[in-house]
Amino acid sequence: MGGVVVRRGGAQDVRFLRDMLHHAYYWKERRPDAGGPGPVQLYVKAWGRKGDTAVIAVVDGFPVGAAWYRLFRAGAPGYGFVDEHTPELAIAVVPSARGKGVGSALLASLLERARADGFAGISLSVDRLNEGAITLYRQHGFEPVEERGDSLTMLARLA
């Protein structure tokens, strides 16, 4: 896809991150009874905590995708929690821009930032049936570490 720019996200992007979250975790929202620590809003709520980091893909001035990570405490973990020093990643691309390399560009950019910020690893939770996303994650060095119900926790080691 031509003309994709990946830029750092900030406080002004929180609304977009929230929109993207519905794409990323629709499969959890569909099943609110599936257990886990709570609503997916935990990935954007009170954005700006220490460690919170986002990148936004922009085409012709419009955001078309986002990838971001945040740290969680053991007492209030995300779905792909590994430990308190390993941020959890979320990613989504708007449906009209998928399959054109945007997700891959976002992931590469975010992993580079996590490495530069000194994190030894980054984790995520993905539906075991979401083969497209799992392929993308594997291409960027993520490996499965745990199965939790319908979802898979994956970890990329950065150090």
Ligand X SMILES: CC(C)(COP(=O)(O)OP(=O)(O)OC[C@H]1O[C@@H](n2cnc3c(N)ncnc32)[C@H](O)[C@@H]1OP(=O)(O)O)[C@@H](O)C(=O)NCCC(=O)NCCS
Interacting residue ranges for ligand X, rule: CB under 6 A? 23-24, 91-93, 98-104, 124, 126, 130-133, 135-136
Of the two residues 93 and 122, which places its CB atom closer to ligand X in the complex? Answer: 93
Of the two residues 98 and 118, which places its CB atom closer to ligand X in the complex? Answer: 98
The CB-based long-range contact list for 37-46 (8 Å cut-off, 24+ gap) reads 37/76, 37/77, 37/78, 37/79, 42/72, 42/76, 42/78, 43/17, 43/68, 43/70, 43/78, 43/88, 43/90, 44/14, 44/17, 44/18
- Let me know the angle formed at the C-alpha of 46 by 104 and 140, rounded to the nearest 5 degrees: 15
Kindly state the smallest distance separating residue 10's Cβ from ligand X, in Å. 21
Of the two residues 1 and 76, which places its CB atom closer to ligand X in the complex? Answer: 1
CB 68 within 8 A of CB 87: no
Kindly state the smallest distance separating residue 89's Cβ from ligand X, in Å. 8
Kindly state the smallest distance separating residue 148's Cβ from ligand X, in Å. 13
Kindly state the smallest distance separating residue 6's Cβ from ligand X, in Å. 12
Helix, strand, coil proportions of the chain in percent (round to 5)? 30, 30, 40
Kindly state the smallest distance separating residue 136's Cβ from ligand X, in Å. 3
Of the two residues 24 and 42, which places its CB atom closer to ligand X in the complex? Answer: 24
